[in-house]
């Protein structure tokens, strides 16, 4: 009976957490948060004597097996991970905010702009792709022109300018047949 209750609560809580959205779980996946919450509750019940040690151990083992099974299924990527943990959702593509995606993630533009500033982006047009990942974090890829210059960029350009014009044309990928 304890095992059945643990499994039932696990799947019920999973549905609730998935309905609340990715950003509810912070840096955890839905399963990680759910397992942490349930383990805390089970341990609490065992410690305070509301459940005997054997029942607590059964519930913990069932919970661990559920976590192991879902991790194993996600490893093989049968599509279950999209159902159980969600999929990354692009919220900006080539400088354009997808308001439907923001609404689906329960995120407003102020929150999005705050996240972009944390990624050193001051203008949405700098963003090639911003995605709300399955753990609720927003990843940001900048347009090539918005990337900061690196020492190697400057050195490559300087080296190219030092070569004679004839060498520059024959060294190009197109001239070498590499394109």
Share of the chain above pLDDT 90, in %: 26
Closest to 23 measured CA to CA, from 71, 110, 86, 75:
86
* Residue ranges in the chain assigned as alpha helix (H): 2-20, 30-47, 53-76, 80-84, 99-104, 109-118, 151-162, 165-170
pLDDT value, residue 81: 74
Q: Which of 21-25, 46-50, 132-136 is predicted least confidently? A: 21-25
Cβ partners under 8 Å of residue 9, min gap 6: 38
Instruction: Read off the pTM.
Output: 0.58
The pLDDT tens digits for 67-108 are: 788 778 777 777 777 777 778 999 999 999 999 999 999 899
Query: Which pLDDT band, with edges at 50, 70 and 90, does 59 fall under?
Result: confident
């Amino acid at each position: 009976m304890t095992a059945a209750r643990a499994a039932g609560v696990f799947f019920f809580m999973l549905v609730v957490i998935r309905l609340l959205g990715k950003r509810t779980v912070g840096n955890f996946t839905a399963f990680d948060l759910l397992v942490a919450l349930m383990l805390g509750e089970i341990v609490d019940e065992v410690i305070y004597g509301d459940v005997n040690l054997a029942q607590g151990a059964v519930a913990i083992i069932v919970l661990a097996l559920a976590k192991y099974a879902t991790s194993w299924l996600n490893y093989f990527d049968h599509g279950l991970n999209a159902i159980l943990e969600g999929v990354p959702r692009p919220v900006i593509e080539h400088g354009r905010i997808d308001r439907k995606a923001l609404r689906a993630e329960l995120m407003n533009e102020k929150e999005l702009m705050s996240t972009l500033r944390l990624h050193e982006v001051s203008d949405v047009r700098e963003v090639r792709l911003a995605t709300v990942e399955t753990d609720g974090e927003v990843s940001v890829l900048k347009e090539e022109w918005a990337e900061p210059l690196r020492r190697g960029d400057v050195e490559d350009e300087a080296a190219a300018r030092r070569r004679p014009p004839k060498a520059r044309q024959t060294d190009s990928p197109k001239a070498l047949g590499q394109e």
